[in-house]
Chains A and B, each alone.
Chain A
């Protein structure tokens, strides 16, 4: 089991790392966006740290949902992946490896946002706060990837990217990643508390302060993760049927 999982992970990571044209812009983009907008908005104080955490979550969603989830699910069944299914062992470990690889790349993007915050806005946290924030981002990356694979599995290859733009950008806004939740209009604020992005941000902010994690937001996030996993699973089975009859 561990031997197979590490083999799956090594394969996925090698394929990705050897395509720098894919992953370098992917992990740089959130830090760039933070440098343009996030750093100047909130300054260096407590609000600045909150904005940095928001952009860290934005990096998680951008890399996990938008890049990995959607594009990985687009690698539909190829003759090679059909052969992979003929190997003995547990076929679902291929998906576990994909999620773990996405979490790793999301954390690289988060690290770049934190570095940009330190360089540009002079925001420096205690080592334990950095660790808590990284752990929160790793947790948040799992539902982000699963929601991305769900959308990528449902949509056709051409529709996936425009459709995910349509979902991703409003989710970032609704979740309070660009504008703090208190600044959201009342109607939007009521909706915000049910979005996966808000739940991720709340967990990241709590991690930043060292507060207890909110059970309510953890439950919201777990619900979205489960939904993403179920939709992905169903869509992949449907797709395999269409291909193999």
Chain B
């Protein structure tokens, strides 16, 4: 893909925002290149929504600057290039998904046809029904389709799969990966760690308005090469103390180790009567918890 504009899809520097005496955002920097997906994480109340609304030009930052493709985020030029999922509340109930897609398309120069989007986001049966009575997951699918109407080169997806069933989540991940592979830039907030890992190459985590972790997911993984070893033991048997294993369910145990090969060799040498042995890298969520615990004084 040829990028006619050298300006990056997203560049934010030193964003701060206070509400009264509360500093909601403090010194957030973000960068995003074409063909890159950024996971934007943080506990509830960490300031994610505030940062997102600043990035999309819905509210001004107190200090710092944002440029989307080199344009101010609230400019018409920027809005022509990015798409966003509306949050679920306040959808007009008397309207059908097709009518909303056509409505959004009328604002763009070269929109995607409603039929295309309906197929990509599984709206087939819903497309001509009034939205009154849609389930949370059905509304989310419409919201996702709306983000992609204008063939955007940058999308902001805020909790896009809340309420979606597994099949719809996997469908979304496929669409998101294809979009990024074709050069699209993507910002994703999600509570599903597996989704972040399936879609994103980088992540930025904020807590109390401040960035606490930033990097590629591979690099973050590389910082903690710890595997989790799980196994079962016959009833009444306990693992040897050197394993430092904990019980997960009765008869099932797990241990963490930076050198799981050596650990297993020793288990064999000691004659530990294990069954159902499994070795897996730590989940991203556990790695991040570990990194953050290590960083705390």
Contact = CB atoms under 8 A, between A and B. Distances in A.
B107 A88 contact: yes
B103 interface: yes
Nearest to B130: A18
Contact of B84 (A14, A15, A81, A83): A83
A81 B130 CA distance: 18
Given A10-B103, A79-B90, A87-B104, 19 more contacts: A3-B106, A7-B106, A7-B107, A14-B94, A14-B99, A15-B92, A15-B94, A79-B86, A79-B88, A79-B89, A83-B84, A86-B57, A86-B79, A87-B108, A88-B76, A88-B108, A244-B58, A245-B17, A245-B59
B289 interface: no
Interface string A231-245: 000000000000011
Contact of B94 (A4, A19, A85, A244): A19
B247 interface: no
Contact of A85 (B58, B80, B104): B58
Contacts of B87: 79-80, 82-83
Interface string B83-114: 01111111110110001001110111000000
Nearest to B53: A244
Interface of B: 17, 19, 53, 56-59, 76, 79-80, 82, 84-92, 94-95, 99, 102-104, 106-108, 130, 146, 150
B58 A82 contact: yes
Contacts of A78: 89-90
A11 interface: yes
A89 interface: yes
The 8 lowest CB-CB distance pairs between A and B, nearest first, are A78-B90, A83-B86, A7-B106, A18-B94, A244-B59, A80-B90, A79-B87, A87-B107
A40 interface: no
A79 B90 CA distance: 6
A156 interface: no
A6 B102 CA distance: 11
Contact of B19 (A15, A86, A245): A245
A152 to B, nearest CB: 17
Contacts of A85: 58
Chain A contact surface mostly: helix
Contacts of B59: 244-245
A10 B99 CA distance: 9
A82 B130 CA distance: 21
A7 B99 CA distance: 9
Contacts of B106: 3-4, 6-7
Contacts of B58: 82, 85-86, 244
Given A6-B106, A78-B89, A80-B86, A88 B150 contact: yes
B84 A11 contact: no
A9 to B, nearest CB: 10
A10 B101 CA distance: 13
Given A88-B80, A88-B150, A244-B53, A7 B89 contact: no
Contacts of A15: 92, 94-95
A89 B105 CA distance: 11
Interface string A97-114: 000000000000000000
A7 B86 contact: no
Contacts of B76: 88-89
A164 to B, nearest CB: 23
Nearest to A93: B107
Contacts of A11: 92, 95, 99, 103
Contacts of B104: 87
Nearest to B132: A18
B108 to A, nearest CB: 6
19 contacts: A4-B107, A7-B103, A7-B106, A8-B103, A10-B99, A78-B90, A79-B86, A79-B90, A80-B89, A81-B90, A86-B56, A86-B79, A86-B84, A88-B79, A88-B107, A88-B108, A89-B76, A244-B58, A244-B59
